[in-house]
Structure 1
């Protein structure tokens, strides 16, 4: 009996304990539920809402680029873009995913491998730079752009066949090409933002860039990228548990980029491009009397500057490329072509990045150096057929023998031996010790005075500095190349090494650091190792025109907001004033008028109204070892500078003279022997000082015409 009571007591105790435990558990659960639903309910409700709402970046419309008359050079157009929602794609089984990717690839005329590569997040294993996705993981990933409307409609109308695939219109760059212009090297191009650029933008809290942005890579697109790109907006969309968009939750509108007003005149640009291309094409049909072969005419450039301000009115380079090739992504084959030497490296701007021996276009600056260092305007020197330095005779190229002549005549007939004597005289007086690196050289100093050997400061990225081949440069070059040439000369000559190369290597190894008399006389006529860009030469001739001011050439004139407010005016920037007395500049100016009237350029200006439009000019034919000569003409009035060069095309006036004349005719409205300002490419015949007019309805009108600049 006692045992039974004890057992019952134990059972009741166990039941009480179990009940107590159950009560404790329910109490804890109740308290937790109360906390979750009442105390912390609002917070969790917000988190749940956030899980069903996603942010989608709305890319801004990039700013326009217009010419000085308000004509659009770069605009925007809408493009059908096919995107894939990776969130929904991830919820499909492997077979379904493979089939969907295949369908998308077929629809956009791509491959499944390419579509898959575009879906990989940059930085993840297997990502390919330039192809991978660098944007938000919640945003549909673009896999094809510029698809046809038929493809877009098929995707939109057959959602059951393309789950998670979107077709929408986006803004991309377009090129209106007024008057058929190209202008690729000035305008530049865009490409997707890189990982490093995006990370840097995040670090700087730069909200204008996001993972799906495109940024400027060249030209003014790069130089003024921050102004042009605008500010992205955001669209918050509600999604279901499968990641499908249910509708918009809220929208923050994007801000369009600002408009860039340039100093380019599209009508002048058209003439310049067509003339450069025509002269190259024509020279390729002509036979070089030196080599007996047709001219290669492999590249060229032309520049038109406002002589008073340094603003760029036109700039062309050949070979060129279609700027639209970058829109929507460039293929590997297209990119390889742009960098191909066989194709002439079309991506290289010969105007700002090409570096060439200036030939006789150099002589006006050598004249300035001579006149400011002991020679006078009355000086006469022999213009013989040759000038001997040591055991070598340096000959005239374009000129014959003219007896004793002065500087003006030497420029007019482009007499090399006249300038050889000046270069040799300075070498004897100041630097006859070829090892003296610090020896004075008035001609080198004058070249630097006119800005050669350094960048002009143009507002275009990637400008080349040119090169002044003085004593210090020669020593530096010798130091860097000595081991190579000494090693080459120490080995037995092979069939692959010409006699010239072997002899050069041996001489360079022994005394390549020495600045000899031959270097000095070559420098005096723009030959040897000195090289310039066409823009540098144009800027220096502008200084001859305007009284000695060196301007930093500028393409941009102003930045204007989308509503027409001028945000920033970009004024011409004075770099320096050349230290040459006005009487010498006037003397050189008069001599260069003689080149156009009676000298080496006269035969290309027969019948041109020089009394109404006074052109000053200098021709140049630069010899290049192993190649045909580079032809130059540099010319100017008091309004403009026009420079054109063609590599491997023969003499300066012979290769470019007709093109130079045609450009001047367009600038001033020359019709035969008559000047008709109303026919000029630019209204008023001079570059406009005012900006285009931005009207309230968004249209852009030309600026009001200023004064006529015919001399």
Structure 2
């Protein structure tokens, strides 16, 4: 054999041994090192899981009264895999089912369609799971209807009924509190992809509000029974049986009685605005405990019945939730409503003026109008009040004195050619109060508002310059008015500059400034508390079914505004004057509890869907009692007109509920907190729910109701 042949043989043998070594190595890896994983995979192919959802934890008010709780209920499900096999794809069955529940066929059809099966602009109420899992159609079905379905299974093929825990809302004090509680829904494919959450198809999870914020505590642990089956789907063995564990309960700072009173006061304020000729399309109200930041009540109007998510949304209900004509009931206005604060913002301007060196005990002119550049800025109703003290100016809500102070400070900062280091007293005072930031409340989707300072102006300009510089080509035809074209020209030239008009409008809470009602409530809590303000908190504690505290949420200081005590003393005196002899004097005349506050009437630019001009936003921001500030109360009514006559009356009604006021007298026995806001953590009393629902002998959250 030649030397070359020997070398070729050696190379060939080496290659063969290498391949054999790789093969045996791979076999060792698969059969020894990875045997466990593949064993589990093999078992999963021949195993079937039966998941029993856990009882979801209750959410209670500050006294332990349930606001929402899981109760046994009959739920009607649709099996798409069965319907799709029918000759008409289940249309006949769906029509029978729709008639049974007095629903439109379109509603039933929409609820049983996968979201991907429908056009993007027509997915309201669609199913975001898969066709292979039961689709909940109607929750809380009556026994009679359930029996009809079960007794006529041939006519309702693919329609099933099951008794499962569903979210129920006892509303023991008549409270709604939908926007705070939020709602639950079935898990989605995106949820299932998150391995850290370990969701199952049959579970419901929090989607909004407290339900999603504290889902990890409320969810509980689902029960899972795993059966091994053969290739004929015959059960051969039960391999796992894990019992469901009920979720923990959440105790909130919301007081159900106060919440109900706040909701009634807000609704009455909106209707009062409409009766006065204003559009009154929506509103919000907030009650905070000043020295802790606890949210004792929070309402949004219009609202919706929380049960609709369990009963099943109709197409119309889903559309109405986001309809501007209906007032967008889905929007939580305390957290997501952005509005110009108007004259309530003048308290911030007081701090700015004090820091700029203006004497708070001095006298200032309040003319009917002020000429700034080529524009005339009018006082409210173009009325002159002469020369007056600053506290009186705040009490009667003079605008023109602030025009002058703000303009002077704008000039000192360099005007349209700002100095390298500007004082920006007004912007900095607003920043200290948190304007332009979220409050950090323990609810999702809070908006930050807007602080239109120099940084914001520059960013806004960069984003919008192209539009304004090409306005006549890019704007809608109806917006090509002489005035708007001129505004666009100015914005194209120097839209990044803080103009004189921006400065004077900012000082009275107009222009580009936007705040949420929860932010304004926090701001007035800060004033009442001499600069210290807390992060708003809805949750009080997480407790288990035996009442053991799992987690307590203690008050957190958000910030401290460092000002001279004389500034706070001035504001306390002036804000009390607003109520005694200022713009809110007539509203609180004879009211037996001393409160302090500020009215606000914000002008709004724009038009309604019907083409009419938008009405003013009504505000009243307050705290009380004046001598020992305990509560900060704020109400806002969009397109509600004057601050005093709409929101001011609404806030007075809230204080009446808080302190037990009837007429001009206080009845302590009717007060919400006769002994002060509870400091202890209440035990959740699920038995109270039995007063509205017959739950005899049923276990809810581990408690047997009698």
The TM-score range, normalised by the shorter chain, is 0.7 to 0.9
Match of 1:264 in 2: 254
Deviation at 1:79, TM superposition (A): 2.4
Decide whether the 8 Å contact of 1:621 with 1:650 is kept in 2: yes
The aligned residue for residue 707 of structure 1 is none
The answer (yes or no) to whether the contact 2:128–2:188 under 8 Å persists in 1 is: no
Q: Secondary structure at the match of 1:605?
A: coil
Q: Equivalent of 1:216, from 203, 206, 214?
A: 206
Which residue in 1 is equivalent to 2:644? 653
Pairing 1:173–2:167 present: yes
Asked if the contact 1:693–1:700 (Cα under 8 Å) also holds between the matched residues in 2, the reply is no
1:298 and 2:288 are equivalent in the alignment:
no
User: Is 1:527 aligned to 2:510, yes or no?
Assistant: yes
Q: Distance in 1 between matches of 2:590 and 2:562?
A: 37
Q: 1:259 to 1:325 in 2, by over 3 A?
A: same
Alignment check: 8 A CA contact 1:118 1:143 kept: yes
Quickly say closer, same or farther: Cα 1:304–1:241, change in 2 above 3 A. same
Match for residue 60 of structure 1?
A: 54
Aligned residues of 2:137 and 2:312 also touching (Cα < 8 A): no
Partner of 1:211, secondary structure, is: coil
Cα shift at 1:167:
2.8
Give yes or no for the alignment of 1:277 onto 2:257: no
TM-score by length of 1: 0.81
Count of residue pairs the alignment pairs up? 634
CA distance in 1, matches of 2:658, 2:226: 54
Aligned CA RMSD, in angstroms, stands at 3.6
**Larger Rg belongs to:** 1
Q: Is 1:234 paired with 2:224?
A: yes
What is the deviation of 1:141? 6.1
**Aligned partner of 1:131 among 127, 137, 144:** 127
Shift of 1:104: 7.0
In structure 2, the CA distance between the partners of 1:399 and 1:603, relative to structure 1 (3 Å rule), is farther
Q: For 2:97 and 2:476, how far apart are their aligned partners in 1?
A: 61
Deviation string 1:571-593 (CA, Å, 9 cap, x unpaired) is 11111111112221122111111
| Contact 2:93–2:157 under 8 Å retained in 1 | no
- In the alignment, structure 1 segments of 5+ residues that lack a partner are 1-45, 287-293, 702-711
Pick from 46, 54, 75 the counterpart of residue 69 of structure 2.
75
How far did residue 510 of structure 1 move?
Answer: 2.2
Decide whether the 8 Å contact of 1:398 with 1:414 is kept in 2: no
Q: State the distance in 1 between where 2:107 and 2:303 align.
A: 29
Tell me the CA shift for residue 111 of structure 1.
Answer: 9.7
User: Residue 630 in 1 paired to residue 614 in 2?
Assistant: no
Deviates more, 1:342-351 or 1:148-157: 148-157
CA distance in 2: counterparts of 1:112 and 1:659, whole angstroms:
43
- Give me the whole-angstrom Cα distance separating, in 1, the residues matched to 2:600 and 2:119: 55
- Partner of 2:470, secondary structure, is helix
Counterpart of 1:644 (choices 635, 642, 645) is: 635
What SS class does the counterpart of residue 323 from structure 1 fall into? coil
Instruction: Name the residue aligned to 2:363.
Output: 380
1:316 aligns with 2:299: yes
Conserved? CA contact 1:366–1:443, under 8 Å: yes
Q: In the TM superposition, what whole-angstrom CA distance separates every residue of 1:272-296 from its partner, at most 9, and x where no partner exists?
A: 111111111121122xxxxxxx311
Tell me how far apart the structure 2 counterparts of residues 124 and 631 of structure 1 sit (CA, whole Å). Answer: 44
| Superposed displacement of residue 242, structure 1 | 7.8
The structural deviation recorded for 1:240 is 10
Deviation at 1:453, TM superposition (A): 0.9
1:704 aligns with none
Q: Does structure 2 retain, via aligned residues, the 8 Å contact 1:413–1:595?
A: yes
**After the TM superposition, which of the residue ranges 161-170 and 614-623 deviates more from structure 2?**
161-170
Residues 104, 153 of structure 1: alpha-carbon distance in 2 compared, 3 angstrom cutoff: farther
Q: Could you tell me how far 1:511 is from its partner in structure 2?
A: 2.5
> Could you list the per-position Cα deviations for residues 71-120 of structure 1 after superposition, in whole angstroms to 9, with x for gaps in the alignment?
21111232223457789x59x9x66x869885576246589999899899
Q: What TM-score results when the alignment is normalised by the length of structure 2?
A: 0.81
Structure 2 portions without partners, runs of 5+ = 1-39, 607-613, 691-706
Change (3 A) 1:371 1:112: closer
Return the alpha-carbon distance in structure 2 between the equivalents of residues 539 and 261 of structure 1: 22
Once the two structures are superposed, residues 186-219 of structure 1 have per-residue CA deviations (whole angstroms, 9 ceiling, x without a partner) of: 111122211111111xx32x34x21122221211
Partner of 1:620: 600
- Of 302, 322, 325, the residue aligned with 1:342 is 325
**Matches of 1:342 and 1:437, distance apart in 2:** 48
Q: Deviations over 1:305-332 (max 9, x none)?
A: 1011111111111122222111144333
State which of 665, 672, 686 in structure 1 corresponds to 2:663: 672
Corresponding residue for 2:704? none
Going from structure 1 to structure 2, the CA distance change for 1:150 and 1:592 (only over 3 Å counts) comes to: same
